[in-house]
């Protein structure tokens, strides 16, 4: 077993809750990384982790990512994540999800949960029977993907502005990996502006849908070798690695997938090849923006969420400016951008008053 407290110290976590329930067999870990900006928001990942170490490693890493993403998107939320050790393709009975809901409730609002890999809106509806600290339920902000897709499209325009001096995507060739919820939404926006879109997916129906919309289908493995302008990873993480980077002919990478770089050094490898990598957690921030809008005064408003997600354009330009100023890469500048916001909030908290 990892030395949990030492791991917390390494990543600077505030709190970790290990949850077990005898009735349902629930095994979960909730990692609250940082609540300087507000209650911690981050989804529930349900995954058949091989052991506790693997689950702990994932939740620690993912929760740090949420702190940075929420901060960079200008949200009044800190970062956290929950993982449940369970195969999401097997039954997820009501008592299991409710047991998780009770764990969330026990944190008294320090953590808001939401949908993530392996958890569905139906699962969250059970969670919500035990706690009000759930975001993204049906009838509230709902499916974030259209807002995420709109954010990725706007991020791509900012990316184009940096590379080509104009944010016009008309005529640009873009390869989209993954035509799922976000990928397809991005494809629609790109085609509407007149971009030439190449699309790949592992499922024929997804490819067919993209083709019908006007995209050019490509085989899954060929996507890395295409002679195009922009690569948009919208499927899996870790796809920017020693095998794929030397094959890329693009000038820029901008997509929704989380953790696209296998390791931080791959960010440097892209820069060395003259490829601009727009940091994933900025590009795909539309999803958390959508969730957070639920808590805005007056409740959720999709138009407002879309408007905010379009603001990712300006956020990215600011990050490029920091990168220039400090002579670092944009993925490093994105961390600084998020950290500075947290630091400012911490300093303002020096002045005490009852809220
Ligand atoms: P999705 O499951 O709807 O779509 C992913 C698609 O990728 C699927 O159609 C799948 O068949 C395809 N795919 C998987 N492996 C592939 C491969 N090797 N090559 C080509 N295609 C492959 O998921 P989504 O909601 O569209 O999310 C896409 C990515 O964006 C994920 O990494 C997700 O974590 C990230 N993301 C999503 C949101 C959101 O709002 N949905 C927000 C932030 C980040």
Taking a C-beta distance cutoff of 8 angstroms, is the pair 113, 126 a contact?
A: no
**What is the pairing mode between strands 78-85 and 40-41?**
parallel
Q: How far apart are CA 219 and CA 330, in angstroms?
A: 30
What is the dihedral sign for C-alpha 266, 182, 30, 76?
A: positive
Residues classed as catalytic: 81
Tokens standing for residue 235: 């499927």
pTM: 0.94
Where residue 76 falls among pLDDT bands split at 50, 70, 90?
very high
Domain range annotation of the chain: 2-66+76-127, 145-285+312-339
Tokens standing for residue 296: 């805005």
- Class at the top of the CATH hierarchy for domain 145-285+312-339: alpha beta
pLDDT at 147 over 80: yes
Q: Specify the ligand 1 atom closest to the Cα of 144.
A: 40
Q: Do 2-66+76-127 and 145-285+312-339 agree at the fold level? A: yes
Q: What share of the chain in percent tops pLDDT 90?
A: 92
Map tokens 């390869």 to a residue.
175
Minimum CA distance residue for ligand 1 atom 11: 202
Who lines ligand 1 at CB under 6 A? 144-145, 148, 177-183, 200-203, 206, 220, 234-236, 256-258, 284, 287
Q: Specify the ligand 1 atom closest to the Cα of 239.
A: 18
What is the dihedral sign for C-alpha 133, 139, 140, 144?
A: positive
Mean pLDDT of the chain: 96
User: What mean pLDDT is predicted for residues 304-310?
Assistant: 97
Q: Quickly name the fold that domain 2-66+76-127 has.
A: Rossmann fold (3.40.50)
Dist. CA 29 → ligand 1 center (Å)? 24
pLDDT digits (tens, 9 = 90+) for 240-266: 999 999 999 999 999 999 989 999 999
pLDDT at 2 over 80: no
User: What mean pLDDT is predicted for residues 290-319?
Assistant: 96
Tokens standing for residue 23: 């009735």
Q: Specify the ligand 1 atom closest to the Cα of 235.
A: 7
User: What mean pLDDT is predicted for residues 302-331?
Assistant: 97
The pLDDT of residue 1 is 57
The pLDDT of residue 142 is 86
Dist. CA 257 → ligand 1 center (Å)? 6
Dist. CA 303 → ligand 1 center (Å)? 24
Taking a C-beta distance cutoff of 8 angstroms, is the pair 58, 42 a contact?
A: no
Minimum CA distance residue for ligand 1 atom 2: 180
């Amino acid at each position: 077993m990892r030395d949990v407290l030492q791991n917390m110290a390494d990543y600077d976590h505030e709190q970790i809750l290990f949850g077990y329930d005898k009735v349902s067999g629930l095994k979960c870990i909730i990692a609250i990384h940082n609540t300087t900006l507000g209650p911690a928001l981050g989804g529930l990942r349900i995954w058949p982790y091989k052991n506790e170490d693997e689950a702990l490693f994932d939740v620690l890493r993912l929760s740090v990512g949420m702190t940075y993403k929420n901060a960079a998107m200008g949200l009044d939320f800190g970062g956290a994540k929950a993982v449940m050790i369970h195969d999401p393709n097997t039954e997820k009975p009501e008592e299991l999800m409710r047991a998780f809901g009770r764990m969330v409730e026990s944190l008294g609002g320090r953590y808001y949960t939401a949908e993530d890999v392996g958890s569905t809106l139906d699962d969250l509806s059970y969670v919500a029977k035990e706690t009000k600290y759930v975001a993204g339920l049906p009838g509230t902000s709902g499916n974030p993907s259209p807002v995420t897709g709109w954010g990725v499209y706007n991020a791509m325009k900012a990316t184009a502005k940096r590379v080509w001096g104009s944010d016009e995507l008309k005529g640009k060739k873009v390869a989209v990996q993954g035509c799922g919820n976000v990928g397809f939404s991005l494809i629609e926006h790109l085609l509407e502006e007149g971009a030439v879109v190449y699309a790949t997916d592992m499922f024929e129906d997804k490819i067919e849908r993209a083709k019908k919309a006007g995209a050019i289908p490509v085989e899954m493995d060929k996507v890395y070798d295409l002679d195009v302008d922009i690569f948009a990873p919208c499927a899996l993480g870790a796809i920017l690695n020693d095998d794929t980077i030397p094959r890329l002919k693009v000038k820029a990478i901008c997509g929704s997938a989380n953790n696209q770089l296998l390791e931080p050094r791959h960010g440097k490898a892209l820069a060395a090849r003259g490829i601009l990598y727009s940091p994933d957690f900025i590009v795909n921030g539309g999803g958390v923006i959508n969730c957070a809008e639920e808590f805005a005064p007056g409740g959720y408003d999709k138009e407002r969420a879309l408007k905010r997600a379009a603001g990712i354009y300006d956020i990215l330009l600011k990050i490029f400016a920091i990168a220039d100023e400090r002579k670092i890469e944009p993925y490093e500048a994105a961390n600084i951008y998020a950290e500075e916001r947290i630091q400012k909030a911490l300093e303002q908290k020096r002045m005490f008053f009852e809220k």
